[in-house]
Amino acid sequence: MLTSDISSSILVSMNRLDNADRTRIIAALCEGNSIRAVERMTGISRITVTKLLIELGAACAEYQNEHLVNLPRKRIQCDEIWAFCYAKDKNVPAHRRNEFGVGSVWTWTAIDADTKLVASWTVGTRDAESARMFMLDLASRLRNRIQLTTDGHKAYLEAVDEAFGGQIDYAMLVKIYGESTNPQKRYSPASYGGSRISHISGNPDAKHVSTSYVERQNLTVRMHMRRFTRLTNGFSKKLENHIAAVSLHFMFYNFVHIHQTLRVTPAMAAGVTDRVWEVSDVVNLLAVKEENLVTIRKERKMQKSANTGPVLGR
């Protein structure tokens, strides 16, 4: 899964929490609590909470990268959701401007309209290169030809063409908005004036040209991740933390959270898993990873000892 660079190869040893404490922390984070709120709720240091988030986020990214493949999906909707790290753009120091991960950060998401599975996401900027990476990743996870709907963001045009090579039914849904009637309009929605469908390639079915599901997913993201709230002091201070939170959220959404209209999780509806996961199952991904690392270290130590051998005097 394309989520920028997640440091996942090394887990630094620490005074490990047991799985019960880890599960309490992760459940609280997945339900939209900030790290400081989790510290107050559990009595566990925010440094430890952050460390757990980063390590488990990496494990979640790896798991989904390996298992969200060869998906027989038919209708995909894509969108981008804004957040910021470190500071909002206007408050970024001059020497850190244009540094990725400082200021505005965008999360690109692709949701299956039938199973509500989030099949791919990418954390990046809102430019052509991020669109390209996102679409290449999405295309690599699909088994068959799909119908794709995006908004009117121009970066999608070349990205979709490169990723799918014209073997796609693709339409853009461009929504038209007027001026907001609310004098406090900064965070108020503008008046909706209609929409325009642009057929880009293939033969998209007009009745399925929609971005409703992916826009609803944006609301889910903002409700379940405190750092995505528009007016918040719980924003990500580091890009690494932001990426880890996104990876954890989509693991929770895909595998744990039962969708009301499906009555199962999106991963079950899509055939990726055959059961509803518990938060403890997600936490166990990290325990398995830690055990594997311990085994690898032991094997390397044994191999080093065997290669060195006793030094014989003359």
Residue 285 sits in a domain whose CATH number is 3.30.420.10
Domain count, the chain: 1
Q: Please report whether residue 260 resides in a domain.
A: yes
Q: Please report whether residue 136 resides in a domain.
A: yes
For residues 147 and 211, is the Cβ–Cβ distance under 8 A?
Answer: no
Q: Please report whether residue 3 resides in a domain.
A: no
Q: What pTM was estimated for this model as a whole?
A: 0.85
Range of the domain at 153: 19-299
Q: Please report whether residue 166 resides in a domain.
A: yes
Per-residue pLDDT of the chain (314 residues; tens, 9 = 90+): 755 444 433 343 445 788 999 999 999 999 999 999 999 999 999 999 999 999 999 999 999 999 999 999 999 999 999 999 999 999 999 999 989 999 999 999 999 999 999 999 999 999 999 999 999 999 999 999 999 999 999 999 999 999 999 899 999 998 777 666 666 666 666 766 677 899 999 999 999 999 999 999 999 999 999 898 877 788 899 999 999 999 999 999 999 999 989 999 999 999 999 999 999 999 999 988 888 777 777 767 777 666 665 544 43
Distances, alpha carbon 127 to alpha carbons 108, 151, 153, 244, in Å: 11, 14, 9, 22
